[in-house]
């Protein structure tokens, strides 16, 4: 997870610094790691609030206007895969193969900008960024002991839920708990 969070920030920082031609200024970012996917699967990703420009050391702000999404996405992919290779989680050959794919499996989404004078929008997005992995309203214990998780409509199965046996449910939920031995730094 630390590779993922570091890569997300570094990709954003590098793209904005290149776009604005300023290596001495940094983006403001608040981020959280999310690991639970919409279908009850392991889906590690980052949710973040970021400034739409760079903050100078003296406190000045350099606006960007629009995020260079493609540059951020390309750099994010490269940093994650190279980080996994350095951590000996991928072989060099497999990393190179993944880097050559046209459809990388990585994506960066930039939502609607929040105006500085819109505290309700800031709170709404902040709540989304820091929400729990699973909404309790989507979890329904069944009489037979299984757990039904409401999901978006799955295009493969046509179902809008997943059923978990009790131990599979415990496994799915507990894999979302970070290892306390890992120190994940989100502020750079």
- pLDDT, one tens digit for every residue, the chain (188 residues): 888 889 999 999 999 999 999 999 999 998 888 887 777 777 888 888 899 899 999 999 999 877 788 889 999 999 999 999 999 999 999 999 999 998 888 888 888 888 888 999 989 988 888 887 788 899 999 999 999 999 999 888 999 999 999 999 988 888 777 666 654 444 43
Q: Which residues contact 20 (CB under 8 A, 6 or more apart)?
A: 53, 54, 62, 64
Specify burial of residue 32 (Cβ count, 10 A radius: 0-12, 13-18, 19+): middle
Phi then psi dihedrals of residue 119, to 5 deg: -65, -30
β-pair partners for 42: 36
**pTM tops 0.85, yes or no:** no
Candidates 145, 148, 178, 160; CA nearest to 42 is: 178
- Which 3 state secondary structure label does DSSP give 19? helix
Estimate the crossing angle of helix 69-86 against helix 2-20, to 10 degrees. 140
């Amino acid at each position: 997870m630390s590779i993922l969070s570091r890569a997300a920030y570094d990709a954003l920082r590098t793209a904005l610094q290149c776009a604005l031609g300023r290596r001495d200024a940094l983006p403001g970012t608040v981020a959280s790691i999310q690991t639970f996917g919409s279908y009850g699967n392991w889906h590690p990703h980052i949710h973040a609030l970021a400034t739409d420009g760079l903050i100078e050391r003296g406190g000045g702000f350099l606006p960007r206007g629009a995020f260079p999404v493609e540059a951020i996405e390309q750099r994010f992919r490269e940093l994650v895969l190279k980080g996994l290779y350095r951590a000996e989680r991928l072989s060099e050959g497999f990393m190179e193969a993944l880097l050559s794919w046209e459809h990388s499996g990585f994506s960066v989404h930039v939502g609607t900008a929040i105006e500085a004078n819109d505290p309700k929008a800031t709170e709404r997005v902040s709540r989304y960024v820091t929400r729990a992995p699973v909404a309790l309203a989507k979890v329904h214990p069944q009489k037979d002991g299984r757990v039904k998780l409401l999901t978006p409509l799955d295009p493969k199965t046509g179902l809008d839920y997943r059923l978990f046996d009790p131990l599979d449910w415990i496994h799915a939920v507990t894999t979302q708990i970070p290892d306390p031995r890992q120190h994940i730094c989100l502020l750079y």
